[in-house]
Structure 1
Amino acid sequence: MTVLFPFDVGTSCPVLLAPMAGITDLPFRRVVAGFGASLVVSEMVASEDMVRARPSTRAKAELGVADGQTAVQLAGREAHWMAEAARMMAGQGARIIDINMGCPAKKVVGGLSGSALMRDLDHALRLIDAVVGVVDVPVTLKTRLGWDDDCLNAPELARRAAGAGVRMVTIHGRTRCQFYKGQADWSAIAPVVQAVNVPVVANGDITSPHAARQALMQSGAAGVMVGRGAQGRPWRLAQIAAVLAGQPVLPAPQGADLVALVGAHYEAILGFYGRDLGLRVARKHLGWYAEAAGGGASARRAVLTATAPAQVLALLPDLLTPDQEAAA
């Protein structure tokens, strides 16, 4: 069965960046997109907060909608706010609206949003209908296998969502009650693929080209979505896409190239959030870069406790140089 993606795939098998709270902000999405990701998705945005213009939510949704492959992910429990937020984002230029029905966080589920909607598919469909009905851009859905092992209803939700006009479905291969424990079950995504005639994307534990191949083989999905595997390795999506397409794989940046990349990302974070908040936000990214590069513990401590941007930039070569003693 041939499926058509609601965006320019750019390769035989698209590799998408997953939305991650506190991580996939505009600076990080731009770094990942710069390596050629098929699609990048914003952090989940609460629809009512967006419409009511709460500052923190607006900051998350600083979307860079003029950028290439960008989708905006919305969450909520009321059709009115979901529709208004979708209309607002589409009006600002968002190319795709993604609906979150998979977030397992207690504060989201407690508000009857995210994966809590898998326990009430009729209500979930009312939200989908509301969004599809007010925008001309494609609407997609991200969810999980189900609420728990006794409620594996992703195929039914996907089938009904596709019937309502959803153009793509991404499935994280865990239930809500698993959170992020254990291993993602890619084979459990296969019934979703069989239930719909729209693209299905496999998500969960896809951290390498080998994992991506296994996920595609076991699920029959048309693409993969990478989340934590991109932390500290924003080039990983491009590497996975190249392997899946049978093309040469560019090596990960090293030495001066890596320092320049991380330095530019660091300065973009400060420019986006301002100096004080930017310093705090940047620390987790610097830690992931250091881990990926095999940087030493002393350099990491120095960078993560530095309070002056110039000091951080000066320390990057040490942070991103593999620790020879640890490697020995």
Structure 2
Amino acid sequence: MVKIGNIELGEFPLLLAPMEDVSDPPFRAVCKDNGADLMYTEFISSEGLIRDAIKSRKKLDIFDYERPIGIQIFGGDEESLSLAAQIVEATNPDLLDINFGCPVKKVACKGAGAGILKDIPKMVKLTAAVVKATKLPVTIKTRLGWDEETKNIEDVAERLQDVGIKALTIHGRTRTQMYKGNADWTLIGKVKNNPRIQIPIFGNGDICTPEQAVAARAKYGVDGIMIGRAAIGYPWIFNEIKHFMKTGEHLPLPTVLERVEVCKKHLRQSVAWKGEVVGILEMRRHYTNYLKGLPHIKDYRQQLVTCNTLAEIEDVLDKVVLQYNDHIFERSAPAYDFLPSSNEMTGCNVYG
């Protein structure tokens, strides 16, 4: 049984990655329905929380059906992170995660996210301050290092454990790689198999198929896997991995009707949480992935991203079901070698 503090997550938990502009409550709802064991909010600026910024506060919204749920924060200032941790604790999540892995310039160049990988003593100091500021279990998501010359994650993992974190998720790339190239799980495995490490170690990066998940578990011994891009428009990935691990067989691929019904739920949840205008606008990024694999779908997809009412969009989706009801989806060739080739990676659309 994998545990973070007192939170029991099962034998081999599958985590939904915190993805900016993706991992909101509507998206989390359909992932939870389809087997995600632990989910995280989009990352939230510690400075934004302290300033009471509306966008930051909105991201604190969590619901009981999502549990266990973690709220993720980022920042490069000890006082701000500590105060943000206290604000987060008041919303009663199950755990608090610190983002030390976001590679985008506007975050990293301010010494937050993956930017902290240039200053490991400060990273440890910030983490210790957050652990001290909250009673919640504190976890970390980070990368292998800043660049190829500073892959120091083994030392970092020990030092973060020593100041009190309860779990560590490692994305198998450096900051300079951004999301390019293949994730390197070798160092993730070394961290997990370090006899000094007693906390759960979760691997992240390039897991797009059940075969890859099984290979990652067998080869690197991680306690669980965090999944990002493979879940976008395809939340079934969680249950597919679980079924394959138990049986060695694939679940049937979701039908057109099943895909559309889940897409509709996602859409309705988006409208309910954000209002019709914003909910419809921000849902547009998901249609391509939900309808991936359908031939000649461009015209319908264009309609979906230009409709402005819930009724209009649902009408288009109903037409998709009528036209493609007999379509048989084909499963991509499994990637038995854990590190996927560039061709195999084309199915993983946005995030690592």
Structures share a fold, TM > 0.5?
A: yes
Given that residues 40 and 69 in structure 1 are in contact (C-alpha distance below 8 angstroms), is that contact kept between their aligned partners in structure 2? yes
Superposition RMSD in Å = 2.3
With over 3 angstroms needed to count, the CA separation of the structure-2 counterparts of 1:189 and 1:215, relative to structure 1, is same
With over 3 angstroms needed to count, the CA separation of the structure-2 counterparts of 1:264 and 1:3, relative to structure 1, is closer
How far apart are 1:171 and its partner, in Å?
Answer: 0.5
Q: Give distance in 2, aligned partners of 1:292 and 1:60.
A: 32
TM-score, normalization by structure 2: 0.86
With over 3 angstroms needed to count, the CA separation of the structure-2 counterparts of 1:261 and 1:87, relative to structure 1, is same
SS of structure 2 residue aligned to 1:260 = helix
Q: Give distance in 2, aligned partners of 1:51 and 1:272.
A: 23
Paired letter, 1:95: D
Q: Give distance in 2, aligned partners of 1:226 and 1:41.
A: 11
With over 3 angstroms needed to count, the CA separation of the structure-2 counterparts of 1:280 and 1:8, relative to structure 1, is same
Paired letter, 1:199: P
Given that residues 18 and 227 in structure 1 are in contact (C-alpha distance below 8 angstroms), is that contact kept between their aligned partners in structure 2? yes
With over 3 angstroms needed to count, the CA separation of the structure-2 counterparts of 1:296 and 1:94, relative to structure 1, is same
- 1:254 corresponds to which residue? 255
Identity over the aligned pairs, expressed in percent?
32
- 1:227 corresponds to which residue? 228
Paired letter, 1:278: G
SS of structure 2 residue aligned to 1:150 = helix
**Uncovered stretches (5+) of structure 2, i.e. residues with no partner:** 331-352
Q: Deviations over 1:89-129 (max 9, x none)?
A: 11211111011101101100011101111111111111111
**Uncovered stretches (5+) of structure 1, i.e. residues with no partner:** none
Does residue 1:271 correspond to 2:288, yes or no?
A: no
Given that residues 260 and 290 in structure 2 are in contact (C-alpha distance below 8 angstroms), is that contact kept between their aligned partners in structure 1? no
With over 3 angstroms needed to count, the CA separation of the structure-2 counterparts of 1:142 and 1:307, relative to structure 1, is same
Residues 229-238 or 317-326, more deviating: 317-326
Given that residues 65 and 93 in structure 1 are in contact (C-alpha distance below 8 angstroms), is that contact kept between their aligned partners in structure 2? no
Aligned residues: 326
Given that residues 296 and 323 in structure 1 are in contact (C-alpha distance below 8 angstroms), is that contact kept between their aligned partners in structure 2? no
Paired letter, 1:286: Y
Residues 240-249 or 32-41, more deviating: 240-249
Q: Deviations over 1:208-231 (max 9, x none)?
A: 111112222332211111000001
List, as ranges, runs of 4+ consecutive aligned residues in structure 1 with deviation greater than 4 Å: 247-250, 292-295, 320-328
- 1:291 corresponds to which residue? 292
Q: Deviations over 1:205-261 (max 9, x none)?
A: 111111112222332211111000001111211211222244876434324333322
With over 3 angstroms needed to count, the CA separation of the structure-2 counterparts of 1:133 and 1:325, relative to structure 1, is closer
Given that residues 118 and 157 in structure 1 are in contact (C-alpha distance below 8 angstroms), is that contact kept between their aligned partners in structure 2? no
Paired letter, 1:133: K
Given that residues 256 and 324 in structure 2 are in contact (C-alpha distance below 8 angstroms), is that contact kept between their aligned partners in structure 1? no
- 1:201 corresponds to which residue? 202
Does residue 1:45 correspond to 2:44, yes or no?
A: yes
Q: Give distance in 2, aligned partners of 1:313 and 1:118.
A: 45
With over 3 angstroms needed to count, the CA separation of the structure-2 counterparts of 1:43 and 1:315, relative to structure 1, is same
Given that residues 86 and 131 in structure 1 are in contact (C-alpha distance below 8 angstroms), is that contact kept between their aligned partners in structure 2? yes
Paired letter, 2:225: V
Given that residues 303 and 319 in structure 1 are in contact (C-alpha distance below 8 angstroms), is that contact kept between their aligned partners in structure 2? no
Does residue 1:9 correspond to 2:9, yes or no?
A: yes
SS of structure 2 residue aligned to 1:241 = helix
How far apart are 1:294 and its partner, in Å?
Answer: 5.6
